[in-house]
A = this chain, B = another copy of it.
Amino acid sequence: MALGLSVDRSSPVPLYFQLAQQLEAAIERGTLTPGSLLGNEIELAARLGLSRPTVRQAIQSLVDKGLLVRRRGVGTQVVHSQVKRPLELSSLYDDLEAAGQRPATKVLVNTVVPASAEVAAALGVAEDSEVHRIERLRLAHGEPMAYLINHLPSGLLELDTGQLEATGLYRLMRSAGITLHSARQSIGARAATFDEAERLGEEEGAPLLTMQRATFDDTGRAVEFGTHTYRPSRYSFEFQLLVRS
């Protein structure tokens, strides 16, 4: 097959990664059609001038992403389903932007407060110690969409209101050198209180979608604790899961 696979040994990009990218691109592009066999690893390695472990590493990374399926004695084939991207730690801002909605943010509160018991527990800091508190209203097409309350440990990040209105919190954290690693989420629903309804332009008692999330960086340190409410008519959580085998 003319997949045009090739690797550049002078590049600093790892060989297995180059191969994985090319395979993923071929799947995305439709050159590798769902259900089609990938050709055996030995032969593929020989064709590319790579060793089998390297080829396997590339393939494995795509299997982990859910793009390929390996079956012993059969071969490796492209998953034939509409499942494309697995779950990511999503950012509302990025989600909206990807959907072409041009999100806007209004920062309502950006201050330092003593940590409540709940916040302290979530962030793993002492109660009443100083934490940043920001409250933001997220809009799409001029309509309120979500009300976001976040707490961050102090000293982690400069929280500039202007920047917060121009981009998302996660992006700010990443550009400050923080590598996000994992998060604990809880998604529920409840009736809007009067204040909540007011802020989001809903009626009191209207259903709201709620999300609480504690985010951790790669050292396991809590870097953010958020309590968000969404207008369910404007937003729902969409994601793909992979089963752990």
A residues bordering B, Cβ < 8 Å?
34-35, 64-66, 69, 79-83, 86-89, 124, 179-191, 205-209, 216, 218-222, 232-233, 235-245
Contact = CB atoms under 8 A, between A and B. Distances in A.
A219 B79 CA distance: 6
A87 B186 CA distance: 12
27 contacts: A35-B220, A64-B64, A79-B181, A80-B221, A87-B241, A89-B241, A89-B242, A182-B240, A182-B243, A183-B243, A184-B238, A184-B239, A185-B240, A186-B236, A186-B238, A187-B209, A187-B236, A187-B237, A188-B209, A188-B232, A189-B189, A189-B207, A189-B209, A190-B207, A190-B232, A205-B205, A207-B208
Nearest to A64: B64
Given A81-B220, A184-B240, A205-B205, 10 more contacts: A79-B216, A81-B221, A87-B87, A181-B243, A182-B242, A182-B243, A184-B239, A186-B237, A206-B207, A209-B209
Contacts of A35: 220
Given A81-B221, A206-B191, A220-B80, A86 B232 contact: no
Given A181-B66, A190-B207, A34 B220 contact: yes
A209 B208 CA distance: 9
Nearest to A221: B81
A216 B81 contact: yes
A180 B216 CA distance: 29
A236 B188 contact: yes
A9 to B, nearest CB: 22
Given A207-B190, A208-B189, A220-B34, A83 B244 contact: no
